[in-house]
Amino acid sequence: MEKELTAIPGARIDSFLAANYPDFSRNYFKQLIKEKAVLINSRATEPSYKLRENDKVSIIFPATTKTDFSKCPLEIIYEDDSFIAINKPFGISAHPVFGRSGRAVKIQEPTISDIISAQRNNSKIDRSGLVHRLDKDTSGLMIIAKTPAAQYNIMKQFMHRSVEKIYLALVHGIFIEKNGSIDAPLARDFRDRKKFTIGFGRTAMTHFKVKEAFKDNTFLEVHPLTGRTHQIRVHLNSIGRSILGDKVYYSFESKNESEKLNISRQMLHAWKLTIMHPKTKKEIQLSAKLPADFSKALKLLKKSAAIALCIFSLALFSNISVVAATTAKKKTASPAPAGNKKLKSLEIQIIQLSDDLANVEDSFKVLSDNQQKLYDDQADSKNRVRETNLAVIELNRKLTELQAQFDQFKTDFKMQKVTGQDKKNAEQTRESNNPQPALTQDTADKLAGLQTAVELLKKELSSIQERMGIAKAQTTLEPENANRDKIKKMLTSPWAGAVALGVSILTLLIVIIPIIAN
């Protein structure tokens, strides 16, 4: 399709064409000029040519051909006339790596760009279609434009940060907060040009949200507001939460954890993208499912967490289990006593109270392990301490009620024992079938065992309250110590003497001048 335009004197030909066709980039027109698809006065030209008065500009747009991706080896999530969305596997580079000389570094494996180009039937105009990139070992959603107009449109959306990007990451370490932000500029590491570091560079911001927490690791949902190279990996590593499997930005703990879980690549996946369709101008949301290795690592962590929970529960309820096993061995063939129903109810309440106590213990452990972080967020710390205090108060109330019920049951037990003895004395002439099986040795043993369980719960609750008191005292003393340090620093400053002398002179002037004036 050929078109003619009226020239604007003094304008570069490539800039002139880009201004007349805003859906296409200037680089696209540079390529057309090199391919001699743009003519000035019926002659080929250069991209730097400046137009003159009465110049006639003609442009031949290449015919749009539909590309068949039916034999593409990549997993295609979405496809229309403007672009396709693929689920990029890990271990494949998005495009060739370029060295300092500007030449592409040879890579043995094919890149995403190579695979896409192979489907385009060797088009003269380079339309790789890549509008953004993912690291080699990062899996997930990538968009490939089918036309130059779509490519330029979507690239502008990424450049203007109007594309919403959501990643999934598996990191080493736990978070006290449910969500947070990292605002730190990124610069190229001067010691290793292939790496980036926190420094005086380009602004970068990353939001994150905890999806699931494990014993030593966390499953995160990450929202990068900017699109800097290695941004998510560098930001998370900077706060001590390295992505598992990352061979560049890692800690020794995360490396050991990766080896333990048999993770061979970084656990980072481009999950969702929300863009405006280049043609329809309607918002479209795309998502890519987790790859098998990522899902396997998550399942392994969940399984480990479940096993650890079972072990903890068995250890916590060991005393009650021993009492129950002993009671079962001594059980006779006599019918279930009426008093045993109340005894069973008390046993269930003790087990429920143990569950509640375990939850408070876990909550307090998180507070203790992350005490230094809690100082940085006093409001969040006070809320968590207040919630834990309320939980302890509620447990105290339940324990008091349980003790009252227990005492009442023991009183009833004694009364039943006295009544049974009176009946036995009154009926000495005949064999007595005691209708109160609650008087058996089994019931007495079970009662003693439950009394022991209640006492253990009291001791554990007392221990938690004592540790909470210490933590609260430390939290209270922290601001006081900080203020004391500020005052000490101010007094030991080399300027302290000069400031004191100045204040003294000013005070004398204020007092002496009125006296002289009088």
Q: Running DSSP on this structure, what letter comes out for residue 106? A: P
Cα 148 → chain centroid: 36
Question: In 3D, which of 161, 133, 134, 131 has the Cα closest to residue 145?
Answer: 131
Distance CA 261, CA 219 (A): 14
Helices 378-426/339-369 angle, 10° precision: 160
Q: Which two tokens stand for residue 160?
A: 């203007």
Enter the tokens of residue 356. 């509640």
Residues in CB range of 86: below 8 A, 6 or more apart? 74, 75, 76, 77, 112, 141, 142, 144
State which H helix or E strand residue 477 sits in.
helix 441-491
Listed in sequence order, the DSSP H helices in 62-191 are 112-117, 148-159
Torsions phi, psi for 395 (to 5 deg):
-65, -40
> Which one is catalytic: 135, 137, 246, 442?
135
Q: Which of 330, 149, 138, 111 is nearest to 231 (CA)?
A: 138
Question: Please, which residues bridge with residue 478 across strands?
Answer: none
The alpha carbon torsion through 505, 506, 507, 509 (nearest 10 deg) reads: 90
Q: Is 135 a catalytic residue?
A: yes
List, by residue number, the catalytic residues: 135
